[in-house]
Structure 1
């Protein structure tokens, strides 16, 4: 049996976009927050900022297109009733950030700041704008300048609560494996399906619901191959008729895959089945070299394949599922 755990961990190190790998993004973030602090209109209400998305969850992956991003939340001390047109707050943010060295665009879910080099986007930062209703529930400002007023709306969106739920779902080694598995599936998605066709948050919340840590029953070493395969099996088992439905565990409780077309959903399922089968085939190999050749076809060129002479040791067969989740 080949579990290729060393190679999965090397793969994770290669693809992760974490604190040390995001120096430029962090510097840009700090500059943007400083510009908002110093330049936002005096008519804007007070606000606080917080990190959200994959950076806050420690599940970021270096994108294949070389345009990494970071997500920031700006929570204004006001009610949606104070700004019936949510675009007003987004314009405050846009105007405070507009500079010659970057492009600032009001998109429907956020304000996006993009940086370029030689005409190519190198990285971008998304700033989501929030207020809170009378019940204290966070509301996201949705709408572009080109949208009619009826489509400029406040939507329930508990981003901070979502981050807290996911971060606290597991602890210790279980949490580390959860993050490796999510990152591996995101890179697999990028390689086999495309980033836009299957949203990252859908993969992350699928893991929040169905991930189960896996360890060797003898030595207690992690078995990422088994954990990824078990998660893929759980996702496939929860396919409802022709679609996979994964809802946010917080408001707005939306189905995270609802915007996928049926063609995209069918392709997702087919390729997830192929991944599951490849993981089974890799595990069955007596040689880690051969197992990694199979895995590389699924996860891409960043997945390492050891020399055959270095990969002849067989992995201990016992595997158990840890009950150490938070």
Structure 2
């Protein structure tokens, strides 16, 4: 059988968006935080900042079409009772960051700073605004500038706790495989799902819940093909009626796929079934060249296909086994 592990790892290096590939965006982030410190209103409470989202989890990918992002949390030292209108704090952040080379807008979950080049989005940084309630639970400022006062709200959102849970789920080479599999699923989603309601965090938490590391029983080397295939199988096995439910493991414990319509959910299920079948078909190939041709159809042009003359080799007699989680 062809496992294409070399190609999975090459694919991962090609699509990952991490520390080495984010120098420009990190510099933008640092400049934003410096502007925030220097320009924020004197009426604003003190605050601390932290990185969140896929950059903090080390599961980011280069998006198709460009415009990568970074997520920053701004935790103000106040309670929702002290600032019942969350828009006030979001405006403090927005007003401190407005510059000629940026577009700064208040969206419902965050303040978004977008950088453009020749009129096209280059990358963006999302800054989520938080406070802590009396129980020291973080609350996110949830409103647009146009949201009526009565509908502006503080909602439970434990972003730092989520990062800690996910990053500590595995260790060592199991963690490496975990991140490769998440990135591969994200790129598959970008290639094959034609709507935006299948969020990356939903796929990440599905992997947090159900991925089991897979390795060769003889040499202990990872087998990403089996790990992804078995994860997809676990997701399909957990469909309840017409829907798959994937809940955040921290407050507010919401269903990450709740915004998907039944039609979109049916499409996701069909696409996952097609992916599972393709992974099984690739696994059954004796030639890595043929296996990678199948995989490229699901993961896109960045998935490498080696020359046929280099890939006709005897398959390893080992079997896939589960790894150990931290």
- The TM tier, using the shorter chain, reads over 0.9
Question: Structure 2, unaligned stretches of length 5 or more?
Answer: none
Q: Report matched runs for 1:114-263 at 5 Å.
A: 114-194=114-194, 196-263=196-263
Residue 67 of structure 1 contacts residue 122 of structure 1 at CA under 8 Å; is this kept in 2?
yes
Q: Secondary structure at the match of 1:64?
A: coil
The Cα offsets for residues 103-160 of structure 1, whole Å up to 9 and x where unpaired, read as 0000000000000111100100000000000000000000011111122100000000
**C-alpha separation in 2, matches of 1:323 and 1:301:** 30
Question: Structure 1, unaligned stretches of length 5 or more?
Answer: none
Residue correspondences, number: 326
Please report how far the alpha carbon of residue 230 of structure 1 lies from its aligned counterpart in structure 2 after TM superposition.
0.4
**C-alpha separation in 2, matches of 1:155 and 1:96:** 24
Aligned Cα RMSD in Å? 0.8
Are 1:313 and 2:313 counterparts? yes
**C-alpha separation in 2, matches of 1:205 and 1:291:** 28
Residue 215 of structure 2 contacts residue 323 of structure 2 at CA under 8 Å; is this kept in 1?
no
TM-score (norm 2): 0.99
Residue 218 of structure 2 contacts residue 318 of structure 2 at CA under 8 Å; is this kept in 1?
yes
Residue 131 of structure 1 contacts residue 139 of structure 1 at CA under 8 Å; is this kept in 2?
yes
**C-alpha separation in 1, matches of 2:197 and 2:65:** 15
Please report how far the alpha carbon of residue 195 of structure 1 lies from its aligned counterpart in structure 2 after TM superposition.
6.4
TM-score (norm 1): 0.99
Residue 109 of structure 1 contacts residue 143 of structure 1 at CA under 8 Å; is this kept in 2?
yes
**C-alpha separation in 2, matches of 1:287 and 1:101:** 51
Please report how far the alpha carbon of residue 314 of structure 1 lies from its aligned counterpart in structure 2 after TM superposition.
2.8
Q: Which residue of 2 aligns with 1:290?
A: 290
Are 1:98 and 2:103 counterparts? no
The Cα offsets for residues 45-103 of structure 1, whole Å up to 9 and x where unpaired, read as 00000000000000000000201000000000000001111000000000000001000
Q: Secondary structure at the match of 1:232?
A: helix
